[in-house]
Structure 1
Amino acid sequence: MAKRVLYIEDDADIGQWVKEDLERRGYEVEWLQSGDRAAERAAQADLVVLDVMLPGLDGFTIGQRLKREAPNVPILMLSARTSVDDKLQGLQFADDYLTKPFHPDELAARLEVLQRRYGLSAEQQIQCGHLLIKPELQTVIDGRTNEEIPLTAKQLQILMYFLRNRGLILTKEQIYEAVWGEPYMEGDKTVNVHIRYLREKIELDPSNPQIIETIRGIGYRVRP
Structure 2
Amino acid sequence: MRTLLYIEDEQEIGSWVKEDLEQRGYTINWLKSGDGAVALVNEADLVILDVMLPGLDGFTVGQRLKKEAPGTPILMLSARTAVDDKLHGLQFADDYLTKPFHPDELAARIEVLLRRSGQTASSEVKLGHIKVFMKENRIVDGRTGEELILTGKQYQILMCFLKHPNQILTKEQIYETVWGDSFIDGDKTLMVHIRHLREKIELDPGSPKIIETIRGIGYRVKQ
TM-score (norm 2): 0.53
Residue by residue, what CA displacement relative to the aligned partner does 1:81-125 show, whole Å, maximum 9, x if unpaired? 00000000000000000000000000000001001111179x9xx
Q: Name stretches of at least 5 consecutive residues in structure 1 with no aligned partner.
A: 129-224
What is the 5 A alignment of 1:1-224? Answer: 2-119=1-118
Which one has a bigger Cα radius of gyration? 1
Distance in structure 2 (CA, Å) of the matches to 1:103 and 1:51: 15
5 and 120 in structure 1: CA distance in 2 versus 1, 3 angstrom threshold: farther
TM-score (norm 1): 0.53
Q: CA deviation at 1:50?
A: 0.1
Letter in 2 for 1:64: Q
Q: CA deviation at 1:41?
A: 0.4
Residue by residue, what CA displacement relative to the aligned partner does 1:105-155 show, whole Å, maximum 9, x if unpaired? 00000001001111179x9xxx89xxxxxxxxxxxxxxxxxxxxxxxxxxx
Distance in structure 1 (CA, Å) of the matches to 2:119 and 2:33: 26
Q: Name stretches of at least 5 consecutive residues in structure 2 with no aligned partner.
A: 123-134, 137-223
Residue by residue, what CA displacement relative to the aligned partner does 1:13-68 show, whole Å, maximum 9, x if unpaired? 00000000000000000000000100110010000000000000000000000000
Higher relative contact order (CA 8 A, sep 6+): 2
- The count of corresponding residues between Structure 1 and Structure 2 is 123
Letter in 1 for 2:47: V
What secondary structure is seen at the aligned counterpart in 2 of 1:15? Answer: helix
- Give the fraction of aligned pairs with identical amino acids, expressed as a percent: 72
120 and 43 in structure 1: CA distance in 2 versus 1, 3 angstrom threshold: farther
Distance in structure 2 (CA, Å) of the matches to 1:65 and 1:115: 20
Distance in structure 2 (CA, Å) of the matches to 1:120 and 1:67: 18
Distance in structure 2 (CA, Å) of the matches to 1:101 and 1:120: 30
What secondary structure is seen at the aligned counterpart in 2 of 1:118? Answer: helix
